Amino acid sequence: MARIALSSSLAPYTDGVLELELEVANVRQLFQALGERYPELRSHLEAGIAVAIDNEIYQDALLQPIDRDSEVILITKIAGG
């Protein structure tokens, strides 16, 4: 079960839940599981969220594997100028 943490900017879409554990093997499964549990989060997930897996940031990396004991943090995507 990977430990999932959400940045506080996503709290409004998860009724304030910011930490949970999920049985997921990659980022895509993570988004599906979160989308089912928190429908309001769904529109933000696929294109608007970056994922930090054991402190390495992955943007748009749906197939990136998530290990059993990984620590995963969801953050909003970063763009630049």
Partner 1 sequence: MSTMLKYQEKELKIVGTRPLRPDGVDKVTGRARFGADYNLPGQLIGKVLRSPHAHARIKSIDTSAALALPGVKAVVTREDFAEMPDEMAAVGELMINFRDVTRNMMAREKVLYDGHPLAAVAAVSESVARAALALIKVEYEILPHVIDVVAAMKAGAPLLNEKQYTAGVKPKPDHPSNVAKRLEYGHGDLAAGFKQAEVIIEREFNTKPVHQGYIEPQACLASYSADGQAELWTSTQGHFVFRAQCAKVLQMEVSRIRVTPTEIGGGFGGKNNIYNEPLAIALSRKSNRPVKMVTTREEVFRGTGPTPGANVKVKIGCTRDGKITAAEAELNFQAGAFPGSPVNQASMCAFTRYDLANVRVVGHDVTVNRPKVAAYRAPGAPIAVFGVESVIDEMAKKLGMDPIDFRLKNAAKEGTQTYYGPKLGPVGYVQTLEAARAHPHYRAPLGPNQGRGVATGFWFNIGNETTCSLNLQEDGTLTLMLGTIDVAGGSRASMAMMVAEELGVEFERVRPIVGDTSSLGFNFLTAGSRSTFASGMACVIAARQMIEKLRQRVAKIREVPAEAVAWKDGRAQPADAGVAQFAPMTLAEIARMGGKTGGTIAGHAEINAQGAGPGFGAHIVDVEVDKQTGAVKILRYTVVQDVGKAIHPAYVEGQMQGGAAQGIGWALNEEYVYGDDGILQNPGFLDYRIPVASDLPRIDTVIVEVPNPNHPYGVRGCGEVPIIPPMAAIANAIENATGLRLREQPFSPPRVLKAIDDAAAAKG
- Site residues (CB under 8 A) for partner 1? 5, 7-9, 11-12, 15, 43, 46-48, 52, 55-61, 63-64, 73-81
Please state the closest distance from residue 10 (CB atom) to partner 1, in A.
9
Strands (E), the chain: 2-6, 19-22, 49-53, 56-59, 71-76
User: How far apart are alpha carbons 51 and 75 in whole angstroms?
Assistant: 6
Amino acid in position 7:
S
